[in-house]
Structure formats: C-alpha cells, structure tokens
Structure 1
Amino acid sequence: MGEKISKQFDPKTTLQEIEDQFQMFQILNEEGKIVNEEADPKLSDEELVELMTRMVYTRILDQRSISLNRQGRLGFYAPTAGQEASQLASHFALEKDDWILPGYRDVPQIVWHGLPLWKAFLFSRGHFVGNQIPEGVNVVPPQIIIGAQYVQTAGVALGLKKRCSKTVAITYTGDGGSSQGDFYEGINFAGAQKSPAIFIVQNNQYAISTPREVQTAAKTIAQKGIAAGIPSILVDGMDPLAVYVATRDARQRAVNGEGPSLIETMCYRYGPHTMSGDDPTRYRTSDIDNEWAAKDPIVRFRIYLEGKGLWSEQKENEVIERAKEEIKAAIKQADETPKQKVTDLISNMYEEMPVNLQEQYEIYKEKESK
C-alpha cells in the first residue's frame, strides 16, 4: 500500500519542485550592471538620485549612531549598514499614507516616512516623547518583541481593507523573526482575510549569532508564504532596484484587492546585531564578511549612477556633510528635551491610574519636587 501511494505522490519531489521555484530576483548585479533589462523599473534620474541620497545618508546615520551609543548618548541601537537597499528601496515604493510597522532595526524607514530624527534618538533612549508620533505620520514605534509586528500588521491591514482604503501596511523582521509563532500567525491571518499587507523578511544571515541554516530546514524563507497561500518572492536584498520592484508590485496587488505578499531580501548586516554586547567575530569569519562587502548596496548603486552621469564624489560628500549637520542638530534637540521622570512614566501608562500607582505617583512626585 505504501509503495502504491509513493508512486502516485512523492512528497520529497513536491518539496523539491516548490523550492526550485524560488530563484533569487536580481536586476542590478555586484558590478553595478543591469542584468535583467525587462524588470528594470526605469526610475527617473531624480528618483535614482533621491534613492541613492537616502542610502548614503542612512549609512552616515548608522555610523554616527554607533558612535553616539559608545559615548553613552544613545540607548538601544541595532546597526543597519549593509541593509540600506532592503530597507530604503522597499520604503521608496510606498506612498505617504501607507502604514509602517517596524522592527527595532527599521528606524531608517520610519525616519524617511516622516518621524523626526530627534524623536528617533529619544526612542533609542527609552524616552516617552520618542514614541509620540506626529499627526499624519503613519508609523508605529519599533517593535522590540521579535516577530510581534507581523500579527499587528495583519490587524492594521484588515482595518485598512474594512475602511476601503487604497493603502497598505508593511512590516519587517529578520530571518530569526521568521522562526517565531507570530510570523506564521500574521501571514496566515492576512492571507485568509486577503488583507493589504506586505511582509518583508530581511535575511541578513544571522539571528544574533544563529546562522540562517540552523533557523530552518527550508531552502528559503520566502517559500513559507506559500503555506499561507500568498505570493512570495526571494530578492537580492543588496540590489535596490530589485527590492523596489518587488515591493512596488506587492503594493499594487494589495491595493487591487489581491491580498498580502511575502518578500525575503537576502542581505547582510556589516555590524553587530545590536550595540548591547554582541561580537560578530565570534560567529562570523572574515571570509564571509569580505564576500558580502563585495556586494555592498551603496557601492553597487554608486557605480550604476556614475555610469549614467548622475552621481559623483562631490555629490556624495555633499550628502555626507548634510547628514552630519542634521544629525548634530537632531541629537542637540534630543539633549534639550526635558529628561523623563518616573511620574511621566506612571502617568503615561494608564488612562485611569490604578490605586497602587496613584500611591507611587504621589511618592515620586514629592521626591521630584525637591
């Protein structure tokens, strides 16, 4: 009986056939050359320059944030260098009214979506003002609980659908986040409801120190979207054009009522997982670092734009200097924000303060008045 069934249906072959479908989508290769002319989004010169500007600016923001963290002037910080194409090219495909539900490494996207930089610095410090999002900026504070933003995004997207809004909710997690239960629950619920959501897994190869191949037996993370019945794609996450196209198309499907999509971006974080004590030299080799350094999204895009006569060393230096000045002004504004008090924390926690907290509030209020 078992032999008869195996002749009719071979589960190993079925798995292999599914995995073979997920070939990495790429438009711009490591040498800065278009290798998929048909898929080229044909962005205007102005759009190409703007995307490059944001990537360079964000690399400087990352460098300065690391420095500020080491000086004790920032709190929690997760480096972003190496993931600029994955983060910013996906954001570049969005509209202002779309919603972003970020993970803790995704501060650049919400800054470019409208969150003032000085508030992003306050978020890092754990200051409540950093979580006070300005009116009209459709973002939520970065999620610290790994994967939780996937369930939240499914809910936000369903709300957008019920309001008949032609907008989407987009979220990000890493390869480690795809091992969380919230990941599966989020994509499954959104798929069942055909909600306008875009789920991005930034596969930067290591969930803190756990290599991707230990996370899952699946050949790709993208293929997991198939189980939820949603379109899924594996993308070269160091290629800004490919990431842009994948996100643009996912957004178009979503607003057309075709439901969510899952995008896996193959990328790399050049720095540690966070600045909270992680040492990547303990679990990554210099050979692996060098291999991915050759795929740097900024270097790749720079070569491409220089070939089109759209970028130069002078232009890049201008962006770098502007970034440094704006970061300096933003950290100054963050420094000038009144320090958070215990009474602020207590009063912001509940709409109606419980009796036990009222007692504590009065105690700290008296202490702070001295």
Structure 2
Amino acid sequence: MLVARRLDEEAIALQRQGVLPAYAPAKGQEAAQVASGAALDLNRDFAFPTYREVGVAVGMGVDLAAYLASHRNIWHGGLYDPQSSRLAPLNAIVGGPVLHAVGWAMGAKLDGTGGAAIAYFGDGASSQGDVHEAMNFAGVYRLPVVFFCQNNGWAISVPTERQVAGGSVAARAASYGIESLRVDGNDALAVFEATRAALERAREGGGPTVIEAMTYRMGPHSTSDDPGRYRTLEDEQAWAGRDPLVVAAQQLTAEEVAAAEEHAAAVVREVRESLVSLDVRPGEELFSFVYREPTKSLLAQQRAWKEHLDA
C-alpha cells in the first residue's frame, strides 16, 4: 500500500512537471485496490481496471513503469502485456470494464478454464446502464465474475446519496439474483478475505458477487479537479483518521513500517527513472491493433495520416 501511495504522489508531481498530461489520484483507496488485486490467482483469473487502479497494478505485480506509460500518453492501454500480467488495459469509459469482465467470464465458463474475472468500477459508474446490463447478464448465466465497486463517496463532484438510489450499490445485487456484501474498503485484510472468498465461489460455479468497498477518495477526482469546490475540509479531516495506511500501520511495528517506506522509496525511484526514459512509440501503432484484418476505412485513415506527415 505504501508503494501505491508513494507512486501516486510521484505521478501527481510528474503531472505538475509536465511529464504526465493528466492523472487520476487514488489516495485513500490503497487498501481496496492492493488487497483485492493480491487476492487474484494470476494463473487463471483476470482483472479489468478503470483509469484509477494503480493499487491493483501494485497488488498484481504488474510492471509499474509500463502501467504508467498510458498516463504519460506514450501508448494506449500501457506497455505491459495484459495476457501475461492478467490485467486488462486501462479503460477510461465509465462502466466500460464491467462489460468486458462479464464477456471474459462468459468465455471462461464456456471453455472451462476455471478462472474468474474481477471488474472495477466506482459508485458513480454504478449508475450507468452498462453496469445494469452486465450484472443482469451475469446473473442470468451465473458467470464467474466479481463486481468490485469502490464507493469512494463521490462521482466526481456528486455525492453518492445524490446519485445512487437507496444509497447502496451492493443492495442492487438482489435484483439480479447475485450475492453481495459491503466491506470496510480501508481495511486491507477485510478486503482481501472478501475478494478471495468471492473469487473462489465464482470459480466453483457459485456465480457472481457484488462487493461494495466503502472507502474515500482523499484527493481530487483528477489533476484538473478542485475538491474544495464541492466538499468541506471537515469532511476530509474526518476521513483522514481512517486512512488505510494509518489503519494498516497500527497492526505493524515501527520497524516494519520503516522498512516498507524504504522499499516504497526504492520502487518509486526506479519507476520514475524508467518512465521518464521511455521512448515515444511509432505512430503507425495507432492503426495496428484495431482489427485483426484492417478495414478499408482504417486503411484510408492510415494513408491520410501518412500523407499529412509527408506534407
């Protein structure tokens, strides 16, 4: 979690320095992300992230410089290998990863691989029609998928109570015949156990589960956001005492925390150096991974692009 926090802070600094065009901070959500990612079986499960899952990448052991390459705008989806890392490319479509996870889960059920998918989304995304369709489909076909909602209190600037009818994302699961639970999203051990159990149940044919991890986005929605315009300092200070790193540190010795800080600093230093030194990818790759067989329209766009460069 310290690696995720310090890397998050470094990414914000790099954005302010002009290295990253934009970044979506994850401060406060480290327990929900790292612990759920660590619960996956990387030999058979698959994770589908949004644009704010740096902690999931840490928990899954993904190449972090390659992960952040997407935020640097060097290559769409990051430079890591999704197939071997078991982490799908970053997805900025609100609710989009949920559909992809359900599609993957259907494939896993049909080919009998025994793996499960986990779909990440926020409380704001839960109001998207795509999420309703995905949960309904997964419920009908009893698919091996875990819907992992990080309820961080805010859909950008709109509080949960103003956009989630009934106030609970987990409660919606009953409408689809899906198991659900709420968990303290700032308690890493609780998140790990809940996610591990839901994944195990999915792999054994028990169907999908909705996990609503109750947490708090301590920073802005993105580096272009000012949370001071829509929430109070008192609210932020109240949640500061429930910081997942503070909660975790209370279960460790001072020596263990110091060692973790030293490790995090070394990781961040290495990631920063690797990220800054990455070369820009060839522009032709914009057209290389759209279709298995390029369409006439895509080929026409590629020709127009080349003509523009040569003009």
Normalising by structure 1, report the TM-score: 0.78
Q: Which residue of 2 aligns with 1:204?
A: 152
1:312 aligns with 2:256: yes
Whole-angstrom CA distance in 1 between matches of 2:67 and 2:241: 30
Whole-angstrom CA distance in 2 between matches of 1:333 and 1:162: 43
Counterpart among 90, 102, 105 of residue 142 in structure 1: 90
1:194 aligns with 2:194: no
Deviation of 1:150 after TM superposition, in Å, equals 1.1
Q: Which residue of 1 aligns with 2:161?
A: 213
Question: Does the aligned pair in 2 maintain the 1:343–1:365 contact within 8 Å?
Answer: no
Q: Which residue of 1 aligns with 2:198?
A: 250
Cα distance change on mapping 1:226 and 1:341 into 2, 3 Å: same
| 1:67-106 residue CA offsets vs partner (Å, 9 max, x unmatched) | 0011110123110110001101111211112101001111
Q: Which residue of 1 aligns with 2:276?
A: 332
Deviation of 1:193 after TM superposition, in Å, equals 0.8
- The correspondence of residues 289-300 of structure 1 with structure 2, limited to 5 A, is 289-300=236-247
**Which range moves more in the overlay, 142-151 or 128-137?**
128-137
Q: Number of aligned pairs?
A: 306
| 1:223-273 residue CA offsets vs partner (Å, 9 max, x unmatched) | 001111110001111111111111011011101101110000110111100
**Which range moves more in the overlay, 238-247 or 128-137?**
128-137
Letter in 2 for 1:171: A
Counterpart among 50, 72, 78 of residue 24 in structure 2: 78
> Percent identity of the aligned residues?
38
| 1:291-347 residue CA offsets vs partner (Å, 9 max, x unmatched) | 1100011111111122xx8x534313322321232222322332xx1x245444245
1:179 aligns with 2:120: no
Q: Which residue of 2 aligns with 1:164?
A: 112
Q: Which residue of 2 aligns with 1:61?
A: 7
Q: Secondary structure at the match of 1:263?
A: strand
Question: Does the aligned pair in 2 maintain the 1:111–1:120 contact within 8 Å?
Answer: no
Cα distance change on mapping 1:161 and 1:68 into 2, 3 Å: same
Whole-angstrom CA distance in 2 between matches of 1:322 and 1:341: 31
Letter in 2 for 1:287: E
Cα distance change on mapping 1:332 and 1:288 into 2, 3 Å: same
- The correspondence of residues 337-352 of structure 1 with structure 2, limited to 5 A, is 337=279, 339-340=280-281, 342-350=283-291, 351-352=293-294
Question: Does the aligned pair in 1 maintain the 2:249–2:257 contact within 8 Å?
Answer: no
**Which range moves more in the overlay, 139-148 or 124-133?**
124-133
1:223 aligns with 2:171: yes
Which consecutive residues of structure 2, in runs of 5 or more, have no partner in the other structure?
none
Letter in 2 for 1:362: K
Cα distance change on mapping 1:316 and 1:131 into 2, 3 Å: closer
Whole-angstrom CA distance in 2 between matches of 1:297 and 1:81: 9
- The structure that has the greater radius of gyration is 1
Q: Which residue of 2 aligns with 1:119?
A: 66
Letter in 1 for 2:300: N
